[in-house]
Amino acid sequence: MKKLNHRYYRNFLFAIGIIATIAYRIIIVLNYYSPFWVKIAWYIGTIGFVWYFIHRYNVENRRDHLIERMELAKKIENKEELNDEERQATVYILKGLKTSLAKWNYIAIFLFSAIALVYALYLDFFM
């Protein structure tokens, strides 16, 4: 049975997701100052998102594989007894969902996108 990624690694990836989000959204500001810093922000954002979303894909894939291989949804729906391995897999999935920081990354993506959009509209229509 696989274990959850270490808490420090998950926090590190959370930070990567936030940094990537900010890097992409700050490009709207950097466009007025320096093409060099636009490129730096773009690379930071792109590398950060690639790393973060590969991680998220692997996490979701691992969960899906466990659910399908062990037929967990079917067994729970049919109120079947779970063996130790199935119970451990269910606990792994539930703990992962409970401790996931992904929803906070989604909130950050939304907030920084909204701020960038409002700022861009301000610049385009009032400056």
| Confidence label for 4 from pLDDT (cuts 50, 70 and 90) | low
Q: Is the pLDDT of residue 79 over 70?
A: yes
Report yes or no on 75 lying in a domain. yes
Q: What is the pLDDT at residue 43?
A: 98
- Asked if residue 15 belongs to a domain, the reply is yes
CB burial of 27-52 (b: ≥16 within 10 Å; e: otherwise) equals bbebeeeeeeebeebeebbeebbeeb
Parent domain of 68: 7-126
* DSSP structure string for 69-100: HTTHHHHHHTTPPP-HHHHHHHHHHHHHHHH-
Q: Does residue 2 fall inside a structural domain?
A: no
Instruction: Count the domains in the chain.
Output: 1
- Is the separation of the CB atoms in 17 and 105 below 8 Å? yes
43 within some domain: yes
- Asked if residue 111 is part of any domain, the answer here is yes
Q: Is residue 1 part of a domain?
A: no
